Structure 1
């Protein structure tokens, strides 16, 4: 029996069960049961009753606005119910009575950072990402919809997880055990070719959308992080990628695409993906096409740099060969005006600090301010959050990082935030080591 004869997915019948399973896998139920212990006792003023309400004043620090580059000394940021109500110099901001105060004297204050490519499979990973300064993020997919459960965790207990744009499951030729993630995927087990036909590609996209994915993640090349795979080998053609993009667009979703080879990058961009992920060997012609189309670039420099230190000689050599090529691609893309955004590609239980990606953006040739923008205003634009994330201004999210030093002089301070505030709540365990 062919895949075409299988009825379309029904979100009404299976969504609750699917998300319950995802929540169990991600550990979100356990996280919610201990939520208060994951948030540090808020600094308090006499008579304060707002310890866990999302009300907070951050005062005395040097405030950086990534959008304008403007620096305000002895600044005050007032957060009420998780949203910034005022931010600016002390003499222009009224500090409300009875609201907890976080003393930032001697430190710099920035908006929470955005990790535009991260794999969050558990509540512990989500909390670790926040502790390292990533208060917003975009999922690079999970195996069993764990990211969708993490997104709900972030809504219920914002100090435990980043605000998350979810990708659901990977649109990839071989789903492996992921085929068990949803009853509406199991008919694909009958297909000898895996997820390659137009019908199979559409089905995985449609199931993702039915389960609540915000974006769709697919691939054009094999993986760089597995020594047995060739990251220049192409797994989907331009026509197949076009099917994925078309199905996603019908559901109002954009597509992010795992890519490495020059031809693969070109096929993905021509097919209409919203953002190119990794993209080590992206060619100049494709970069020009990206600029014309408005395609974003998420190079995940820290993931490629991490290969250099691998104990596997194949991966180590791959990292040494790829990293300088990718840095040049980042420089060229930025110079051309392409939207370059920061993403760590953290996975496998280890969350890399988003500040490291910003540091590598600077090492690739961006100014410190432009490097910071890749993890603030520019990443927010890619995620469709430019009106709420990436700045500390009235109406924006009350997500803050406090760092020990001037990031415009030494961007590496972003790797070690002293304090992280998520929706007006101070996150426990975020102090620099």
Structure 2
């Protein structure tokens, strides 16, 4: 049975509702107009709330792009944007600005979590406090991530700068079919969301709701003991339909995957990033390198399975983690771009610094591990001119850590201070 061929919901009306809801969360007056092009891109200029003025002074500054280390550095932030960064002796510091002393500590750009599920204001705030000042959603059940994105634009200290994915394009939507009235006809499909028409439909509704990226799957879940993560749920042809529909709207696709065949089908279908990918093989990694497909292994989530009280999940985590670390190491050696993502969800937000630590444990040099949550992840999100560095014109997002992250990346798990848009938290 096919879905009725009716147009997707109005983009303007839906965005008005989202913006009004986000404004209420932020304690501001509801905004009626649709987002501007700059706001949809998630650039610094798209933040509706003006950022703060701040000088971070006296610490050791690390530039992940170049690896350059600057002692006794200053970072000057005006209206939430970096105006200058470098050695104090050679950097002009305006008078009268608030000072954050960082003597004896290291200064880095705010980190990027490229796979996280943020469904509440508390989760969004917690992610920022743990160092993730920018992020990409791995989907939510009822478009909460789109509201979180708007919350961040109104009140940056309450949420990371976010690329929202909307709802999961998956065979069985469950209660998510209630996320938008335009999805309800899908409830009568006996085999779920599998036909080309129904797959396009879910993507179209996501785009109409303002999603920045599209999230789908090729395998079942690892975090449910009654599912087999190596079982494939979408074919190459079905994945290609999803990718084509997303591209029609100018968006990329991130794909939940585990098996080698599933990974290969997803990559050759044209996805932007491969998520989890524990059993990705060499031929697929070579294809990813050729296409520039990103690998977001979510090592944190797989390591978490090993600590589960459920014996099936615990054994799965213990089995998958060393295989995934080997895949990460192989990907890095081949030049496949890597991005850090924690896959945090359900009220428990893991620090993205933990993912960096696991990248390091998988065999990446410390600087390259740090890049997976700074410059590398920024490129994946299309924010390479906005986040990932502390340089003139970049966002005034900063973490201050108590130790040298090049010697011990674990210091990134517990930032001493976090600055979001020039405001110290």
TM-score range, shorter chain: over 0.9
Name 1:247's counterpart in structure 2: 245
Alignment equivalent of 2:329, drawn from 306, 331, 355: 331
In the alignment, does 2:269 pair up with 1:271? yes
Name 2:369's counterpart in structure 1: 371
Name 1:42's counterpart in structure 2: none
Alignment equivalent of 1:387, drawn from 385, 388, 410: 385
Contact 1:18–1:181 at 8 Å: present in 2 too? no
Name 1:404's counterpart in structure 2: 402
Alignment of 1:46-195 (within 5 A): 54-195=52-193
- Scaled by the length of structure 2, the TM-score of the pair is 0.93
Name 1:259's counterpart in structure 2: 257
Deviation at 1:19, TM superposition (A): 6.0
Deviation at 1:31, TM superposition (A): 5.0
For 2:125 and 2:269, locate their aligned partners in 1 and report how far apart those are by CA, in whole Å: 35
For 1:249 and 1:223, locate their aligned partners in 2 and report how far apart those are by CA, in whole Å: 25
Name 1:6's counterpart in structure 2: 6
For 1:283 and 1:155, locate their aligned partners in 2 and report how far apart those are by CA, in whole Å: 40
What 5-or-longer segments of structure 2 have no aligned partner? 29-49
Q: Which runs of 4+ in 1 moved over 6 A?
A: none
Contact 2:2–2:197 at 8 Å: present in 1 too? no
Give the SS at the match of 2:59. Answer: strand
Alignment equivalent of 2:346, drawn from 333, 348, 351: 348
Contact 2:124–2:148 at 8 Å: present in 1 too? yes
Q: Deviations over 1:18-52 (max 9, x none)?
A: 6656x5xxxx734547xxxxxxxxxxxxxxxxxx9
For 1:207 and 1:378, locate their aligned partners in 2 and report how far apart those are by CA, in whole Å: 29
Deviation at 1:248, TM superposition (A): 0.3
Name 1:296's counterpart in structure 2: 294
For 1:8 and 1:372, locate their aligned partners in 2 and report how far apart those are by CA, in whole Å: 41
Distance change in 2, residues 1:257/1:157 (3 Å): same
Alignment equivalent of 1:29, drawn from 2, 24, 32: 24
Distance change in 2, residues 1:88/1:66 (3 Å): same
Number of residue pairs matched?
404
Contact 1:18–1:182 at 8 Å: present in 2 too? no
Contact 2:51–2:421 at 8 Å: present in 1 too? no
For 1:69 and 1:145, locate their aligned partners in 2 and report how far apart those are by CA, in whole Å: 38
Contact 2:19–2:150 at 8 Å: present in 1 too? no
Contact 1:4–1:199 at 8 Å: present in 2 too? no
For 2:26 and 2:310, locate their aligned partners in 1 and report how far apart those are by CA, in whole Å: 35
Contact 1:341–1:374 at 8 Å: present in 2 too? yes
Give the SS at the match of 2:231. Answer: coil
Q: Deviations over 1:50-101 (max 9, x none)?
A: xx95100000000000011110000000000000000000111111111000
For 1:351 and 1:319, locate their aligned partners in 2 and report how far apart those are by CA, in whole Å: 19
What 5-or-longer segments of structure 1 have no aligned partner? 34-51, 428-433
Deviation at 1:7, TM superposition (A): 3.3
Name 2:304's counterpart in structure 1: 306
Name 1:213's counterpart in structure 2: 211
Distance change in 2, residues 1:17/1:387 (3 Å): closer
For 1:398 and 1:8, locate their aligned partners in 2 and report how far apart those are by CA, in whole Å: 38
Distance change in 2, residues 1:190/1:17 (3 Å): farther
Deviation at 1:11, TM superposition (A): 2.1
Contact 2:2–2:198 at 8 Å: present in 1 too? no
Name 2:32's counterpart in structure 1: none
In the alignment, does 2:315 pair up with 1:317? yes
Alignment of 1:224-239 (within 5 A): 224-239=222-237
- Scaled by the length of structure 1, the TM-score of the pair is 0.91
For 2:2 and 2:66, locate their aligned partners in 1 and report how far apart those are by CA, in whole Å: 56
Distance change in 2, residues 1:97/1:10 (3 Å): same
Contact 1:31–1:123 at 8 Å: present in 2 too? no
C-alpha RMSD of the superposition: 1.3
